Structure 1
């Protein structure tokens, strides 16, 4: 299987800040890979290096097996959506895409109506860009990515500004592009529940370093059920759990919630123990582990720090 993207010991430094360090990454043809990290983790820096917007401090990037001198040609096979796309405010969707079609040497003019239909903008082609909502702007940005029939899409927050229906439509479109047209996709989003439905591989990045690279199958095996309890005294509960279950795996959330990842089948026993020790338990539930749960357990904190 061909490597679409390959990096070796990639580093990026900004003055005294290291944004990305020792980043070894490979994306194979046909994958949908989600890059997951908090704000400032290095995701956008990595995407900008792939697109050529910024240069690495050191390390190597290969695109379709091509090294630095041939990157411009390799990027013609890729569509990038990084930050808010830059369009002409007084142009319609058709006029904006016509400008980029000529600029990028796309021969078929009919491709404009094709991509506008694909992203659900067929009924808004005459409206000026400055009249577009944030969600419509994102759709037009995706249409621009698709204009040159790319083999790979690199998408940074492509569903930003979309309502739930729009997010669902974009997810269906990306799955269709991947499954029917074999387009490889590298994507980031703060909506981790969407990534869980879309991606078949997950790469977690924290403080500029890759902390885990895991397939969807392996992630699902790790994301077993968890026990969630709400108590009136988290500190006392923590001490009690650690004394009783030496190998317990848990974390405390706000408002008295405690998530227990191990001993889930002993929920009744844990509940009885807490009651005996005078701890008030207001809620107990067993739930599936989400991608966000897994991510927060891996790096700590909150998803959008």
Structure 2
């Protein structure tokens, strides 16, 4: 695989605040890479540095293996949507795209109609922008990104503020761009459950530091099923589990609830162990962690380190 985006020891400081700490990060061709973090984690700052909207304090950015002066030429192969584009409210989709086509020096007029078709707005091309739904506005923003026929899209929070229908539209569109048009996508959001449905890689960022980087398979493995128990004596259960399984991973939660992260395949044995030792098991279930719970767990772990 070839590397589309790469940062080397990238930092960004605003006065005394270090928003990005020395960051080594890359996106490979063909990925839908999700950058996940709470507001203020450094997502938008990283995207603005990649787009050249702000300068890094130190370190470097490479696009398609090029840096320095050569990077400007490579930026033409990128489509950035960092903030909602400033479309003219009284213009139609075509009029808006025509304005940006001329401004950006895109020669082929047919490209406007092609991108409207790709994002599913061909039938809405004569409707004024101010009459668009939020989801349609976001799709027009992605159409604008596609005008120059990019190899890679960088989208900052494209599903923020959308209703369920709008989110599904954007999700479907991103999959289509990736699978049919072979466009690499770097996307940020804090709507974690939604990203799980579209991304192939998950990068977690907090306070300007990447603290986990997982493939879809690795994420599924880490956020796989857990055993959740409600018992009458959680201290006794903790002792029994430690004695029976040397490598067991579990958490004692309030109200005598215990969650066990491994040995899921031994759930029947664990239940028998507790009952045979006089523990009253009020509830015993196996459930899947969702991405949000996994992420919050990571954040808490990093806070405790």
Do both share a fold (TM > 0.5)?
yes
> Which residue matches 2:241?
245
> Which residue matches 1:208?
208
Asked if structure 2 preserves the Cα contact closer than 8 Å seen for 1:42 and 1:208, the reply is: yes
> Which residue matches 2:159?
159
Alpha-carbon spacing, 1:77–1:261, altered in 2? closer, same or farther (3 Å): same
Asked if structure 2 preserves the Cα contact closer than 8 Å seen for 1:32 and 1:187, the reply is: yes
> Which residue matches 2:7?
7
Give the CA deviation at 1:271: 9.3
Alpha-carbon spacing, 1:249–1:130, altered in 2? closer, same or farther (3 Å): same
> Which residue matches 1:55?
55
> Which residue matches 1:19?
19
- Structure 2 length-normalised TM: 0.85
Name stretches of at least 5 consecutive residues in structure 1 with no aligned partner.
none
- Structure 1 length-normalised TM: 0.85
Give the CA deviation at 1:144: 0.8
Partners of 1:298 and 1:106 in 2: CA distance: 44
CA deviation profile, 1:31-87 (whole Å, cap 9, x unmatched): 221111222111111111101111111011011122132222211110111122221
Asked if structure 2 preserves the Cα contact closer than 8 Å seen for 1:241 and 1:248, the reply is: no
Give the alignment of 1:23-172 within 5 angstroms. 23-172=23-172
Q: Which moved more, 1:289-298 or 1:200-209?
A: 289-298
**Does residue 196 in structure 1 map to residue 192 in structure 2?**
no
Q: Which moved more, 1:20-29 or 1:170-179?
A: 170-179
Partners of 1:255 and 1:118 in 2: CA distance: 52
Give the CA deviation at 1:258: 5.2
TM-align CA RMSD: 2.7
Name stretches of at least 5 consecutive residues in structure 2 with no aligned partner.
none
Asked if structure 2 preserves the Cα contact closer than 8 Å seen for 1:138 and 1:160, the reply is: no
Asked if structure 2 preserves the Cα contact closer than 8 Å seen for 1:34 and 1:188, the reply is: yes
